[in-house]
Structure 1
């Protein structure tokens, strides 16, 4: 769960106003902004909420690590059983796509039953068996043999470390899989969750790959994410279309369980003829008149703190 979704809190006045608060990491906000949407049974399509950044004066504290937001929306649909569904989406397209030819991106397991025998001609016979799971590759699988004489040394060519980007490799195993690897800036992953989606054939429906693994590298502002796609028939499905894109998180909030009524208006205090105090106010008008409001008055008398609860307002 991302930081914006985890921190999201929403309430309403059960009349027309919905208010939400949430936060995001300041580094993530500098790279990609998040937009909050709302929908319910009355608002069938996602409606963007109007959000304003809270200042340090609003928060009464300094918050350098996070950016905090307060959002508002108006709606005319409140009822018991109605759920508001909130979701976040980035303000830019975060997506990478790739067509993968399986036979050009293969990494099989080492061969099995490797043996070397001497022949009468003085040559050596090297035999082996394809690893379990590699048989489906058929004639597309080729092997390279490297050898040396006893007095010679192995030639090892060092590989330079690089960035994996978005790449795919067919891994030979008992059940062949396509291993897809991509990199994302670490800060962005605090606000956006990424998923891997694939099509085995152009005509097939898009599927999502589970689970997505993540590996953080020390002293690098990126994380490596990966997912393995099972290959059912590598001979007939030689090309996959894969895409990495931002997933949409959703949170359901029941409106009638998250009500915060606005304070009463026109509050006044007058002294009566018998030296008593009379407190008057105008209660907040709810959409439904059968909902009763209860007010609590707090005051000091003779240096003693007292409270009075009232069923109805005047």
Structure 2
């Protein structure tokens, strides 16, 4: 007899396992009723499932009299982990007992693991008696897998074009046609335009789906996938994507057009248009309340949304109706246009026969006006061909057809270019206006060489005179200096006398002239030459 116990159930053999699962399958409601919210897990031999390193390292030895000692290896604990607790399972008594730890866990230097030990006191020993130990952890409640059953993924998803631009999607059941599951499967097909976020989902019981041309945008790539589900349970995994390219529409128009009833008197319609088409065409809703009523715009508050990616614009519009059964709605295309006021967009022709001539040192620019029907003014632009930054823009007074360019404002002997354009005379209020005309072709002229004025002549003369003076000084000063030196050498000097030289050699200054006399008295010496040829020096002080 199978009954609900208050503790774990010991399963010793594969036969016991099979009997247990068969019993659970047949008595699942009873098991649910027996579960009282406490954590209870069955106990089974570790050899039938994934090998546990901790259980593999578990060793238990007894003295065959009063106790059993066990040891095992475990990884070092973190702060959030509790130490492992080993329990002894008493099958006859249907109860569990803690194997009391003794000693401190020791670190194993070979594999950096902790070796823990515990001891359990018992007197149950014998040849046919087994001791069953397990590590007790939190045990989750049983999970009812019957709600999580899913079928296999559909296979051979493909597409083929059909008439009028549509597409036929087809696939096959993952099970053979003879399987009882095949006719009970439901399918869900999702398709969308590539690189879009939103999928269009359709559920069918057949193995094919026709996507109409109205639900696709011409000239774009689409992708689709399919999955299956049994009567209950979960959907299968999605099949691989299938893609196709829609044909280009020779006459581009709106796509994905549809209307939704918000309530008895309100309708919301939406449609999509390509960006390049929306530049030139606008589609608006036209409504008829009955067959004989004239068509009129349904709403003027059309909303436009532009996704960040993709070449489509989405439109939607809501409006109220009185009789839904008699309502007729159409999307009417209209060309986009732009209106221009003729008197505000006048661009005159450019002036004619531009000529320039010199008169009294100035340059006179002349031109012939175009044939306008409005008053014009002109702008003159001239610049140096050598220095492009040297440019001037002038506005000529109204009615004038010439301009005098002062010769003093131009560089001599330099090439200049000039061009002219016409402008509509601006005004206030509802008057003529518009952009200026095109510039005329540039006319080239060269200014005259510069003439010497009195001021320029004086500047040049003074500069040359100063240069001559400096040059003369540069030549004469060294020559004068040399002549002075020669003159000093030619003047007679007592110091150059040979007799005085001999006297100085024989009688030094200190002997001839005491220090006091040399510093306070002045001596005058005179040298006389006798007939014998000797020189006599006569000196006197004063």
Greater helix percent: which structure? 2
Higher relative contact order (CA 8 A, sep 6+): 1
Query: Could you state the TM-score of these two structures normalised by the residue count of structure 1?
Result: 0.40
